[in-house]
Amino acid sequence: MAPDNAPDEDLRRRRLAVLDEHFRSEIDHDWAACLATFAGTPRYEIVATGAVHEGDEAVIAYHSAQRTAFPDQHHEHVRMHVADDDTIVSEFDLLGTNTGEFLGLPPTGRAFRVAVIAVFTFEGDRITNERVYLDGASLLRQIAREELLGLAGTTDFAAAQMR
């Protein structure tokens, strides 16, 4: 039996449609459409680095930097798991090619593919937070940027800082 706060079929369908638009807007570099998928203040938590990008400007800066480094970044094999609360968990492969400056370094021209889990929380049918889990060290190795491995991982970001 589903809990009292479980989303009904209509809300479930609307949330999945919002996530479809969210993913598409990221691929299309349409930051206005991406921000429109959020309820209020957008927030991304990147667990691998402990980085939190909160607010329109911070989120656009995050996406702009990522897409400068990896303009062809996209998702494949996306699977959505709808929970019985305000959460949808997405599993996917994230792919891209380093053809632009990345963390101040010139492009390597190397491609990456890493498995990602993104946990989306919702208020109604809009996203309130996206928490991203990925193996940053694998990404850095695949694009031949082993000198950046010291940046992979964090020592001070834990569940207490997550929303």
> Is 4 domain-assigned?
no
Q: Which band of pLDDT confidence, cut at 50, 70 and 90, is reported for residue 50?
A: confident
159 in a structural domain: no
> Averaged over 22-42, what is the pLDDT?
97
Kindly tell me if the per-residue pLDDT of 117 is higher than 90: yes
Is there a domain that residue 21 lies in?
yes
Q: Is residue 161 part of a domain?
A: no
Has residue 97 got a pLDDT over 60? yes
Distance in angstroms (rounded) separating the CA atoms of residues 59 and 51: 11
Mean pLDDT, residues 29-54 taken together: 95
CATH number where 101 lies: 3.10.450.50
So what's the pLDDT on residue 1?
47
d(CA 52, CA 43): 7
| Helix (H), strand (E), coil (C) string for the chain | CCCCCCCCHHHHHHHHHHHHHHHHHHHHCCHHHHHHCECCCCEEEECCCCEEEECHHHHHHHHHHHHHHCCCCEEEEEEEEECCCCEEEEEEEEEEECCCCECCECCCCCEEEEEEEEEEEEECCEEEEEEEEECHHHHHHHCCCHHHHHHCCCCCCCHHHCC
Domain that holds residue 136: 9-154
Quick count: other Cβ atoms within 10 Å of Cβ 155? 6
Domain count, the chain: 1
Whole-angstrom distance, CA of residue 127 vs CA of residue 11 = 13
Residue 160 lies in a domain: no
